[in-house]
Amino acid sequence: WVCLITLNLYLNLVREISTSRYEIFYHLMAWGVPLVMASLPLIRGYYGPAGAWCWITDDHVAWRFGIWYIPLFSLIFLMICCYARIICVANNRMQSWLGTFNPERERRKVSLAEEIKPLKWYPSVYLLVSIFPLINRLHNAFYPQDPSFPLTFLHVLSAPLHGLANAFVFGLDKEWWSLLSPTGMQLALHSRLCDQTRIGEYHPGPVRYTQADLFDPSDDDDNDTNVLFYSPDMTLKDRGP
């Protein structure tokens, strides 16, 4: 999901592509790829005791790195590159001046800055919490019969911290705390579930203008039958005495 968030932000900001039609594709990738990757060792019977977890056993080290660690750090590297590009493009657009003031453009600049601020820490979070698991698995690969307790302890301590670290990153942003208020959550829920507003376009009927009598001998306004304009949908009433 973190990779897809990065991809979505990259397409929106750098490539300026609308990604609303990619929602099904995102779900297929986010759920399908992990399902396939987790099913392959299960089909081959490679799961078993692996330190503190039931995972790919020490007899199949290549599968550990091929299924998890090599893709993980490759994606982290790609995310770092993507966010570096995203930040550069966002900074250039924030500092650009096109000569005229456009409220929509200025609003989008502020929105992009607020959106990028917490998300740019995602790669760093995943890199930090994955360092000790990687070191421990490398040690297991070279010394399968001599596991290191300190490395295993750091592995056990840091591996489950993805969610806590992401929550900490978002918690540093004061704007997110304001959105977590009861009013903010109620508005977000209402906007998501109950907003069925549709803006339509009004098409007026054709109007035919006629020339009024310029010389009216009557000074009585009640007998004034001059027609200033006429529409086909208008009904002219007979204004008798």
User: Of the ranges 66-70, 182-186, 200-204, which one carries the lowest mean pLDDT score?
Assistant: 200-204
CA-nearest of 3, 24, 222 to 119 is 3
Say which residue, 84 or 195, is predicted with more confidence: 84
pLDDT at residue 203 greater than cutoff 80: no
**Are the beta carbons of 22 and 29 closer than 8 angstroms?**
no
And the tokens for 51? 């330190």
Mean pLDDT of 204-231: 49
Q: Where does residue 65 rank: exposed (0-12), middle (13-18), buried (19+ CB within 10 A)?
A: middle
pLDDT digits (tens, 9 = 90+) for 5-25: 888 888 887 887 888 889 899
Beta carbons within 8 Å of 223's beta carbon, 6+ residues apart: 239, 241
Q: Of the candidates 51, 8, 1, 46, which has an alpha carbon nearest to the alpha carbon of residue 28?
A: 1
Q: How many CA atoms lie within 13 A of 38 on its CB side?
A: 8
* 141-149: long-range pairs with CB below 8 Å, 24+: 141/61, 141/64, 141/65, 144/58, 144/61, 147/51
What is the amino acid identity at position 173? D
**Confidence bin at 197 (pLDDT 50/70/90):** low
Q: What is the pLDDT of residue 214?
A: 45
Mean pLDDT of 45-55: 88
CA distances from 31 to 15, 36, 53, 191, 230 (A): 25, 9, 22, 26, 63
pLDDT tens-place string over residues 70-113: 998 998 899 889 888 888 887 787 676 555 666 766 676 667 66
Which are the contacts of 192, defined by CB distance < 8 A and separation ≥ 6?
none
Q: Model's pTM, two decimal places? A: 0.62
Which tens digit of pLDDT belongs to each residue from 115-170? 676 677 778 888 888 899 999 999 988 888 888 899 999 999 998 888 888 777 77
With CA atoms as reference, report the closest residue to 5 among 126, 100, 178: 126
